Amino acid sequence: MAINDEVLRMPREQLEELQLERLKKTVVDCYENIPFYKDLFDEAGFNPYDVKTLDDIQKAPFTTKQDLRDNYPFGLFATPLSEVKEIHMSSGTMGVATVGGYTQRDLETWGECFARGIKFANGTPEDICHICYGYGLFTGGLGAHYGSIAAGCMTLPMSAGNTKRQINVMRTMGSTILCCTPSYAMHLADTAIEMGIDPAEEFSLRAGIHGAEPFSDNFRAELEKKLNYRVLDIYGLTETMGPGVAIECWEQDGLHLAEDFFLAEIIDPETGKVLPDGEWGELVLTTLCREASPVVRYRTRDITCIKTGECKCGRTHKRIARLHGRTDDMLIIRGVNVFPSQIENVMETFPEVASWYQIELDTIGSLDTVTLKLEVNPDFTFDEISAIERLQKKISTRLQEALQVGIKVQLVEPKSIPRSEGKAKRVIDLRTYKNMS
């Protein structure tokens, strides 16, 4: 299948006409086919037949993750189950999982969205696309797979894990595009180095399409250096499709939204008010072509902004800024709001420490405590107690200055923080475990 780059260069007026036509159909389809939406719209006094402009979406009520959970498993499907060809699910570690259904056309749309990322990486049928996002109910593996097939690449459906085999295949087959989480890409690079392989020299990678979790600019720079390729950030979520809702082009200056398939708004998470382009807030998405599991004004909880100005690549689809956190990521430490990305920003100013960290939340008596476990770089002499203590103190002071909250820093040896094959687990909340037991 040819990748439709023309639609990405459509004049805005024409694109917005296309969006409006699709939006009208989506809200009516939801109203007519999903009892949940009929009740929701009626209660909010929103008439789906009255949508005349794109801004009219602002009259519609929001949908939340809880609504999806309450309707588990198939309550929000708009088509008969016989038309649903595939199911994916969010991991559900924080509660009941949410379910997405795909018709044959939904799968094709998904493939096209991910294939755009391959196109952004200048991918062609000459490329070998190495996929180590997990296959299964998680959307990463199969989303990348459909994208690679749609882009006409040779596809290596490796799935996650078995890192040494991944490295051997990558080296011997000459994989050129790597699709996995950024933390797993780093783990692959580090493991190769440990095996005596220089990935920058011995791999043939040109591009990495990495997402599913936040990663900083420094982390990206380190990956690009170790693997000698270019990293493009890809965003998506199970509730609206999976990977491919927004992807960075070669310019690495924000992620182009697939605006022909999704209508995006940024809202103030407190008031629900829509914010203008350029202002940071919560991303809200409405699917425009989803047949089986459409969503209207879904609150993603992801924090970003719509970038102003045009992208150098000339594509007209709007871009969102790289995501560094979610509204529900926010830690409240003794009354102070802290995002893990703020801790990361401080950490990155210390060359002695690596990118691997974990934030451990606990309580002693009634007091919340936070310990930041940080790996030192392999060239840091870990056995010199006084040097360790000095550095711990220095980082802790810098965190106190930046965040106005006391965080205990515990330096740990290289490789001691568990590596994940999928999304890295950065926050360990021992308070939850205590409450559960």
Binding footprint of ligand DLL on the chain (CB under 6 A): 90, 133, 139-140, 211-214, 233-238, 242-243, 300, 302, 323, 326
Contact 322, 254 (CB under 8 A): yes
DSSP-based helix, strand, coil % in the chain, nearest 5: 35, 25, 40
Shortest Cβ 299–ligand DLL spacing (Å): 10
Cα(385)–Cα(80) distance, integer angstroms:
65
Q: Which residue, 30 or 212, has its beta carbon nearer to ligand DLL? A: 212
CB of 426 to ligand DLL, least distance (A): 12
Q: Which residue is nearest to ligand DLL (CB)?
A: 211
In the numeric block, which tokens belong to residue 406? 């006391």
Nearer to ligand DLL, 233 or 291 (CB): 233
Residue 104 tokens, joined: 């044959």
CB of 45 to ligand DLL, least distance (A): 29
Residue 180: CB minimum distance to ligand DLL, A: 8
User: What tokens were used for 253?
Assistant: 């200056």
Query: Which CB sits closer to ligand DLL, 15 or 99?
Result: 99
| Residue 54 or 107 with smaller CB distance to ligand DLL | 107
Number of H-type helices and E-type strands within the chain? 12, 20
How far is residue 381's CA from residue 31's CA, in Å, rounded to a whole number?
64
Residues paired with residue 376 on neighbouring β-strands, in sequence order: 353
Choose among 222, 246, 249: nearest CA to 234.
246
Please, what is the minimum distance in Å from the beta carbon of residue 199 to ligand DLL? 21
Q: Of the two residues 208 and 236, which places its CB atom closer to ligand DLL in the complex?
A: 236
Closest CA to 251 of 190, 312, 198, 192: 312
Residue with Cβ nearer ligand DLL (111 or 140): 140
Q: How far is the CB of 175 from ligand DLL (least distance, A)?
A: 17
Check: CB of residue 339 under 8 Å from CB of residue 331. Answer: yes
